[in-house]
């Protein structure tokens, strides 16, 4: 009722306290259940795949992947289909103890490759709430081995040619799939983030800023290069140039070929927030999650009309880097040969260097961007940056404090928002403010206490995932320090909060098991169930014994009304 809403700052729930245990907590009147865990079968042949905490190599691409991240729900002919990322693996958990966290055989590498990528799965609501529809024709695993197409201006360029693909058109795998996006035409966007970590060199390492700026080199995180030449930089120096993109997947066709959209640039992509500008063009907001890297915007050349497959609009457009002026105005700087001194292909392959040349604003790790569906404004989570004011980024760019990244050694993070000129997301100018500066008002009485809308009762650190519900409320997920000690005392486990964009008020809605971050959020078609990702939990959640298992949970209101 209106009275209830007024009493709760516009929130339809009573905010909860912090937690420090290995459980999920929600406000009174809300329930949850685990929808799917790492290792759960997508097809009945894999019903018994998860045994004693392990999955065999044969079954490893027939189960739900590890470390769930960004996800989106689609209406496919009335069926509910979720596409969800599996960002990375925990070899100490995923492989036999004897391997000691490093793959010892090609089969163990294969298991890790198969636990990552994307899961597409149909879900349905039965007597026990939502469940995965096993054997659905929509179910699909996309892994580090799945064939995909390179599209856009970088496709076919010398920079992306390899021994296995001399044409530079066909790539295997999408890697380190972090945040997500949904196109206006109903396809899924999966965002390749820390792809650099999969490559290593068994011989001489190729050199140059194109590698160092992206942190490519040294030993691969999972020893892939010892068992698969594709990941060996001394043999395939161009393979890393084929990763770090936004990849489009059609969730309605399990036989479709995913498409890497090179026009959206190559960096450590967090998510891809698509909106239609008031002039009809497609705009995609893109964060590059690394200390002192940049916030981007892609604008298509063509316009989109309802009912159109807009895939080609993602091949033909302009990439921009954000510049935030200290007077709370800002502008999008086009990345062109004139502004960067690089050719069109180089701008897309080495976008970070292009952004440096154009003079964007170095940011405190841009994670998710969320656009308000009720008005023309967008928000970016700047998760934290211990190097702010301390040292430059990998390209040597200045990272002194500025108005939008105002705190040296920023361990708490902030959320910035901008309003495009004339309400047009394709306009080159905007005004901005900070929606919230996270902080700890019990430990500090200076800028590290946070902004006025941060209190003892709602404090948090490291905002990361963000999404708007259709009612225009901003849901904020954290991936921060959950030690509950020192400057994080009183903040507890990672959490999901709801922010009111109009009043600035923020209320804690959910806390997750210690060790976990909250990542990924989407809603059922009727809006009555929210699906929330729990990544890298600790303890033995959710089974109560055995290994922790990253999971997607369904959350709903006991009274059956729309959530939020």
Q: How far is the CB of 155 from Ca ion (least distance, A)?
A: 28
The footprint of Ca ion on residues 353-382 (CB under 5 A) is 367
Q: Which does 80 bind (CB under 5 to 8 A by kind): Ca ion, ligand FEO, none?
A: none
Q: Is 449 in the site for ligand FEO (CB under 6 A)?
A: no
Q: Please give the residues from 309 up to 348 whose contact with Ca ion meets the rule CB under 5 A.
A: none
The three state secondary structure string of 407-454 is CCCECCCEEEEEEEHHHCCCCCEEEEEEEEECCCCCCCCCHHHCCCCC
Report the site for Ca ion in 429-468 (rule: CB under 5 A).
464
Q: How far is the CB of 270 from ligand FEO (least distance, A)?
A: 5
For ligand FEO, the closer of residues 85 and 110 by Cβ is 85
Among 228, 236, 270, 377, binds ligand FEO (CB under 6 A): 270
Site membership for ligand FEO, residue 193 (CB under 6 A): yes
Stretch that binds Ca ion, among 146-154, 257-265, 393-401, 473-481 (CB under 5 A): 473-481
List C-alpha distances in Å: 564 to 375, 457, 468, 481, 499.
19, 19, 10, 26, 11
Closest CB to Ca ion belongs to which residue? 479
Fill in the per-residue mask, 478 to 517: x = in contact with Ca ion (CB under 5 A), - = not in contact: -x--------------------------------------
Among positions 178, 264, 497, 532, the unique one binding ligand FEO when judged by CB under 6 A: 178
Q: Which does 193 bind (CB under 5 to 8 A by kind): ligand FEO, Ca ion, none?
A: ligand FEO
Q: Strand, helix or coil at 365?
A: coil
The DSSP secondary-structure symbol of 563 reads P
CB of residue 519 to ligand FEO, shortest distance in Å: 7
**Of the candidate residues 66, 289, 346, 364, the single one contacting ligand FEO (CB under 6 A):** 289
Read off the tokens for 291.
């200390």
Three-state DSSP at 505 gives coil
Q: Where are the alpha helices (DSSP H) in 309-397?
A: 337-340, 344-349, 351-358
| CB contact burial 505-529 (16+ within 10 A = b; e otherwise) | bbbbbbbbbbbbbbbbbbbbeeebb
The candidate with the shortest Cα–Cα distance to 123, out of 40, 199, 237, is: 40
Q: Which residues in 32-91 contact ligand FEO (CB under 6 A)? A: 87
Q: How far is the CB of 170 from ligand FEO (least distance, A)?
A: 26
Q: Which of 237/533 has CB closer to Ca ion?
A: 533
Q: Quick check: 129 and 33 in contact, CB under 8 A?
A: yes
Q: Which of 440, 327, 416 is nearest to 365 (CA)?
A: 416
Distances in whole angstroms, Cα of residue 343 to Cα of each of 213, 321, 335, 354, 391: 18, 16, 10, 10, 29
272 binds ligand FEO (CB under 6 A): no
Binding site for ligand FEO (CB under 6 A): 87, 178, 193, 270, 289, 367
For Ca ion, the binding residues (CB under 5 A) are 367, 464, 479
């Amino acid at each position: 009722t209106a009275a209830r809403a007024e009493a709760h700052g516009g929130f339809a729930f009573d905010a909860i306290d912090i937690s420090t245990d290995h459980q999920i907590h929600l406000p009174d009147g809300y329930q949850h259940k685990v929808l799917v865990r790492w290792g759960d079968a997508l097809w009945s042949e894999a019903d018994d795949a998860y045994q004693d905490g392990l999955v065999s190599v044969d079954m490893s691409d027939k189960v739900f992947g590890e470390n769930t991240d960004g996800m989106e729900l689609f209406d496919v002919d009335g069926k509910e289909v979720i596409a969800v990322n599996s960002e990375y693996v925990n070899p100490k958990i995923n492989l036999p103890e004897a391997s000691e966290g490093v793959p010892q055989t090609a089969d163990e590498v294969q298991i890790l490759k198969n636990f990552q990528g994307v899961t597409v799965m149909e879900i349905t609501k039965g007597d026990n709430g939502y469940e995965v529809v096993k054997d659905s024709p929509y179910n699909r695993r996309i892994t580090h081995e799945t064939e995909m197409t390179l599209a856009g201006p970088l496709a076919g360029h010398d920079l992306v040619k390899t021994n296995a693909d001399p044409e530079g058109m066909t790539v295997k795998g999408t890697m380190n799939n972090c945040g997500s996006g949904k196109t206006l035409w109903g396809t899924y966007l999966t965002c390749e983030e820390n792809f650099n970590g999969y490559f290593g060199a068994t011989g001489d390492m190729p050199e140059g800023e194109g590698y160092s700026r992206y942190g490519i080199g040294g030993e691969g995180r999972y020893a892939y290069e010892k068992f698969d030449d594709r990941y060996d930089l001394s043999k395939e120096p161009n393979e890393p140039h084929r990763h770090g993109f936004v990849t489009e997947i059609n969730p309605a066709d399990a036989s479709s070929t995913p498409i890497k959209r090179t026009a959206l640039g190559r960096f450590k992509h967090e998510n891809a927030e698509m909106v239609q500008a008031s002039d009809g063009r497609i705009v995609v907001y893109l964060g590059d999650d690394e200390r002192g890297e940049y916030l981007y915007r892609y604008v298509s050349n063509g316009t989109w009309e309802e009912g159109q497959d807009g895939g080609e609009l993602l091949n033909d457009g302009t990439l921009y880097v954000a510049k935030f002026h200290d007077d709370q105005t800002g502008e999008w700087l086009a990345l062109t040969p004139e502004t960067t001194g690089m050719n069109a292909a180089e701008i897309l392959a080495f976008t970070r260097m292009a952004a440096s040349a154009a003079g964007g604003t170095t940011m405190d790790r841009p994670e998710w961007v969320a656009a308000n569906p009720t008005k023309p404004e967008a928000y970016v989570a700047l998760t934290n940056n211990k190097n702010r004011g301390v040292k430059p980024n990998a390209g040597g760019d200045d990272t002194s404090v500025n108005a939008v990244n105002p705190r040296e050694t920023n361990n708490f993070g902030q959320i910035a928002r901008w309003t495009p000129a004339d309400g047009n997301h394709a306009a080159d100018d905007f005004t901005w403010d900070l929606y919230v500066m996270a902080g700890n008002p019990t430990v500090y009485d200076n800028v590290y206490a946070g902004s006025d809308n941060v209190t003892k009762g709602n404090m948090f650190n490291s905002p990361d995932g963000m999404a708007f519900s259709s009612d225009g409320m901003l849901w904020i997920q954290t991936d921060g320090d959950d030690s509950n000690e020192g400057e994080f005392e009183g903040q507890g486990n990672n959490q999901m909060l709801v922010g009111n964009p109009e009043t600035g008020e923020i209320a804690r809605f959910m806390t997750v098991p210690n060790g976990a971050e909250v990542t990924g959020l989407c809603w059922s078609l009727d809006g009555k169930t929210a699906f929330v990702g729990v990544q890298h939990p600790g303890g033995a959640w959710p089974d109560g014994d055995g290994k922790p298992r990253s999971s997607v949970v369904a959350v709903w209101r006991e009274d059956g009304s729309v959530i939020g």
